[in-house]
Amino acid sequence: MRVLGIETSCDETGVAIYDTENGLLGHTLYSQVKLHADYGGVVPELASRDHVRKSIPLIHEVFKQAQLSSDDIDGVAYTAGPGLVGALLVGACLGRSLAYGWDKPAIAVHHMEGHLLAPMLETPQPQFPFIALLVSGGHTQLVDVQGIGQYQLLGESLDDAAGEAFDKTAKLMGLDYPGGPRLAKLAQQGKDVGYQFPRPMTDRPGLDFSFSGLKTFTANTLAKAGTDQQSLADVALAFEQAVVDTLVIKCQRALKQCGRKRLVIAGGVSANVRLREQLQSAVQKRGGEVFYPRPAFCTDNGAMIALAGALRLQAGQSTDLAIKTYPRWPLADLPALA
């Protein structure tokens, strides 16, 4: 089954074609970073308008990559949530309309299920069951995954997501948008000078997270540390290590609690090199395995939506003609595959 996937949940327009027998046939992505940089964050109305401008040219481009036409497509998948409602509506209206015009089935895809399944774009693929760490600018969640649609939320951030904490802390340091990747790059120049940053909520039972306090702690540290480049790098390193240590501790706790050996990490923050290295080391010491997508598929992309949609369409699921989007959409609400 060949499925066209369309992703427009926030500030990146992603389009891809996935074949359940031959894998990814083509993908393309347009980032709106430059569009929103002057505002220091995503402006929803501008994001929606840019998706309108870019979606159809990207669809033409991915068909050209794959050397296919609409006649070769068996279904259309589009992100229906969670995300910015205006941006979601662009992809949902386009995807549902194309499917109707081509007389093909359509499927509304959960954005976070796309991230969760993104490591299946790689070889080897993770086998069920596993623990998933979904870590991005909008979400930090630990999920016990027994199969597609069989998701049990184990813990989540009670305030800022990890990626959001990265971005807000980067802004405190005067780093340009998008701040998270810039902070991680700055941390590579940092030295361990003995800053004692907290590892939030690791001193108590449970799998929930809290990162807003780290932003305040960083602000107080910066006030004493100075604003020269090396001082900023040292603070960036201490902040990044605190976030990474917190995530690693919670992942180990989740694996032990559920008796799992496999860990999947996905979402924009999963591209962080320090996080990957430390999770790999910690899980391997337990005799387990870690799976993650290549960096290009950590951030929002059409490939993960095409894959998730293909798996559900192949199982006989589809979405009716009504166009619905879900700015908030719990993973646990998704139907399981038979």
Cβ count within 10 A of residue 71: 7
Answer yes or no: is 167 a known binding residue. yes
Helix, strand, or coil here: 176?
coil
Per-residue CA distances from 70 to 59, 73, 76, 127, 155 (Å): 10, 5, 10, 32, 41
Q: Which residues contact 7 (CB under 8 A, 6 or more apart)?
A: 13, 14, 15, 78, 79, 91, 111, 114, 300, 301, 302, 304, 305
Answer yes or no: is 22 a known binding residue. no
Q: Token pair for residue 76?
A: 């259309």
Answer yes or no: is 111 a known binding residue. yes
| DSSP class of 196 | -
Answer yes or no: is 155 a known binding residue. no
Helix, strand, or coil here: 225?
helix
Per-residue CA distances from 235 to 89, 123, 232, 329 (Å): 40, 37, 5, 36
Answer yes or no: is 288 a known binding residue. no
Q: Which residues contact 209 (CB under 8 A, 6 or more apart)?
A: 140, 155, 156, 157, 158, 162, 200, 201, 246, 247, 250
Q: Token pair for residue 302?
A: 């059409």
Answer yes or no: is 210 a known binding residue. no
- Interatomic CA distance for residues 31 and 33, integer angstroms: 6
Answer yes or no: is 135 a known binding residue. yes
Answer yes or no: is 136 a known binding residue. yes
Q: How large is the angle between the packed helices 162-172 and 212-225, nearest 10 degrees?
A: 20
Answer yes or no: is 138 a known binding residue. yes
Amino acid (one-letter) located at 28: T
Q: Token pair for residue 274?
A: 């320090």
Q: Which residues are annotated as a binding site for substrate?
A: 134-138, 167, 180, 272
Q: Which residues are annotated as a binding site for Fe cation?
A: 111, 115, 300
Q: Which residues are annotated as a binding site?
A: 111, 115, 134-138, 167, 180, 272, 300
